[in-house]
Amino acid sequence: MKVEKIWLREYPKGVPAEIDLNEFRSLKDILEKSCHRFADLPAYSNMGVTLRYRDIDRLSRDFGAYLQQMGLSKGDRIAFMMPNVLQYPVALFGALRVGMVVVNVNPLYTPRELEHQLKDSGAAAIIVVENFAHTLQDVWGNTSLKLVITTQVGDLLPFPRRLLVNFVVKHVKKMVPTWNIPGAVPFRHALTEGARQAPREVSLDHEDLAFLQYTGGTTGVSKGAMLTHGNLVANLQQASAWLSPFSQPAEETIVTALPLYHIFSLTANCLTFMKLGGHNVLITNPRDMPGFVKELSKIRFTAITGVNTLFNGLLHTPGFERLDFSTLKISLSGGMALQRAIAERWREVTGTTLIEAYGMTETSPAVCINPLTLKAYNNSIGLPIPSTDLSVRDDADHELGIGVDQVGELCIRGPQLMHGYWNQPEETAKAMTTDGYFRTGDVGYVDERGYVRIVDRKKDMILVSGFNVYPNEVEDAAALHPGVLEVAAVGVPDEKSGEVVKIVVVAKDPTLTAEALIEHCRQHLTSYKVPRRVEFRTELPKSNVGKILRRQLRER
């Protein structure tokens, strides 16, 4: 059944119904054209230092050449374990230009989480900021890593500022725990060696893999979404088509506060604005809200992206309301539900509408975006973007119709859709319909104008500050405690982060305390996955086949 795209009637003037997927062969193609076209313009800034497009071109070539010198080649996986620093785009584009597959890693992972991702991806190399090298030290010997490249936060700052920043981070703030990884190569050494020899040319097209972007799963085991150059080229074409009536090539400055290892920031900021010749201002630590606002006071920015909690934090930071918003045109919220109160307050303070968008790791990520002409919050995730098909299905996979407010699972099809989960054909099959749509796990409907609205999440996923937390992973970690008999994890509302993790426990040891259990979980889970609340019970609600009924726990 062909779905009528009624949402096309709501498209802003100048936004096409379809994109030209064949304009670019790969991300490498886009990067090289941008570096040539915008050579003298600022590309990425951090800590008051700016790399221009010609710098990115040169440094990424050097890094790519070094990877080839070390015996790495097209198709090999390289892990990135970094916050938002200048080394990220340099290493990213260097790896992509020589055909390597980037595996983004959350720097705050525990050794257990890191080991799983490195082993599952088969990563042959990793670049890690020294602040997190102690975590890698615990597991690198259990992986297939051939090359470890380490970098200090200030490595791409000019002398002597580089030495000063690195000294302060390491010896004054003591943010670098002791580590020892034999054979680890300093990032600056890699650049120096790479500059001695030009990289070998690598041919890339739409079918070549660009990223293994890991996402949680209902089984509790994270899966690598296989995103090809074609997937990312498609999403960049879709995003830039949506932005085209409102943005000017070579004239935009975007604030990049969300981590680049997250698919939202990676695509929407790092890649899309690179294609437009824009200027990415990288914020390394957005949790330092006063410092963040101070950085914003130094620049005239035209765009900013974030999650609901980030915008809420800015609005509650003294001095934010006094910033100059005269150049701000685009404020984009994604990753979690946007709250009406935050959207309305943002409009009051900045004079711009906070636009909500929707996407998933598996869709590179953009699926729906509200028109940038929107005058006020509309409680919608927007319209499906160009070349995107959206279908609403019931549990029997029957099409429910578009524009009739029938609630069902949102299913997506388009050129931005992943090629499947890495080495998990069964999980891939479960995620797809027979006619090629991806099951999002989100329940919603399309109204009579074509706007998409989410009413619930079909999966049991917990959303903490825009990051997915899957109950089974939390339960597995909690169950490792010898005092736990049974455990279930659910999300409960939280003013700051949208949701936090709560575990309901049947204790084996009557002396077990909530504090002890939370501390135990800290040893096995990244901070945002750690339960903030613990409830003890004598039993958990179960179905007739023994499945724990999380919904009953949430409702209670």
Residue 490: pLDDT over 70: yes
DSSP label of 7? G
Q: Which residue has the higher pLDDT, 477 or 60?
A: 60
Whether 485 shows a pLDDT value over 90: the answer reads: no
Same fold, 53-204 and 388-450: no
By percentage, how much of the chain surpasses pLDDT 70? 97
Dihedral (Cα; 197, 203, 207, 209), 10-degree rounding: -10
| 3-state helix vs strand vs coil in the chain, percent to 5 | 35, 25, 40
**Mean of pLDDT over the chain:** 94
* Predicted pLDDT of residue 547: 67
Class of domain 53-204: alpha beta
Given the candidates 3.90.660.10, 3.50.50.60, 3.30.540.10, 2.30.38.10, the CATH classification of the domain at 388-450 is: 2.30.38.10
Give the pLDDT mean for 202-215.
Answer: 97
The stretch 221-242 carries a mean pLDDT of 96
Cβ(484)–Cβ(524) below 8 Å: no
- Closest by CA to 473, choosing from 459, 493, 483, 454, is 459
Task: Name the phi and psi angles at 365, rounded to 5.
Answer: -115, -10
DSSP string, 112-165: HHHHHHHHHHT-SEEEEEGGGHHHHHHHGGGS---EEEEE-TTTTSPTTHHHHH
Distance, CA of 188 to CA of 190 (rounded, Å): 5
pLDDT reading at 217 higher than 60:
no
| Residue-level pLDDT at 216 | 60
pLDDT value of position 543: 58
Burial 170-188 (b: 16+ CB within 10 A, else e): beeeeebeebebeebbebe
Q: Averaged over 484-491, what is the pLDDT?
A: 90
How many CA atoms within 13 Å lie on the side-chain side of 70? Answer: 28
- The stretch 265-282 carries a mean pLDDT of 98
- Residues with Cβ within 8 Å of 132's Cβ and at least 6 positions away in sequence, in order, are 81, 107, 108
Could you read off the pLDDT of 293-305 as tens digits, one per residue?
999 999 999 999 9
pLDDT score recorded for residue 364: 98
pLDDT at 430 over 90: yes
In this structure, how many other beta carbons lie within 10 angstroms of the beta carbon of residue 230? Answer: 25
Q: Which pLDDT band, with edges at 50, 70 and 90, does 461 fall under?
A: confident
* Predicted pLDDT of residue 544: 47
Q: Is the pLDDT of residue 508 over 70?
A: yes
pLDDT score recorded for residue 222: 82
pLDDT tens digits, one per residue of 91-144: 999 999 999 999 999 999 999 999 999 999 999 999 999 999 999 999 999 999
pLDDT in tens, 249-263: 999 999 999 999 999
Neighbours of 469 (CB within 10 A): 24
Q: pLDDT value at position 1?
A: 59
Cβ-proximal residues to 10 (8 Å cutoff; 6+ apart), any chain: 371, 383, 449, 450, 451
Distance CA 367, CA 263 (A): 13
- Map out the domains of the chain as residue ranges: 53-204, 388-450, 462-555
Q: Three-state DSSP class for 520?
A: helix
401 vs 408: CA distance, rounded Å: 10
Indicate if the pLDDT at residue 165 is higher than 70: yes
- C-beta atoms surrounding 525 within 10 Å: 23
Above 80 in pLDDT, residue 218? no
**pLDDT, position 219:** 41
338, pLDDT greater than 90: no
Q: Does residue 224 contact residue 119 with C-beta atoms inside 8 Å? A: no
Q: Using an 8 Å Cβ cutoff, are 543 and 556 in contact?
A: no
Cβ atoms of residues 115 and 142 within 8 Å: yes
In the predicted structure, residue 467 carries a pLDDT above the cut 80? yes
**Sign for the pseudo-dihedral over CA of 133, 134, 136, 142:** positive
pLDDT at position 545 is: 44
Taking only the tens place, the pLDDT of each residue in 386-408 is 999 999 999 899 999 898 888 89
User: pLDDT for 9-41, tens place per residue?
Assistant: 999 999 999 999 999 999 999 999 999 999 999
Q: What CATH class is the domain 462-555?
A: alpha beta
pLDDT number for residue 221: 66
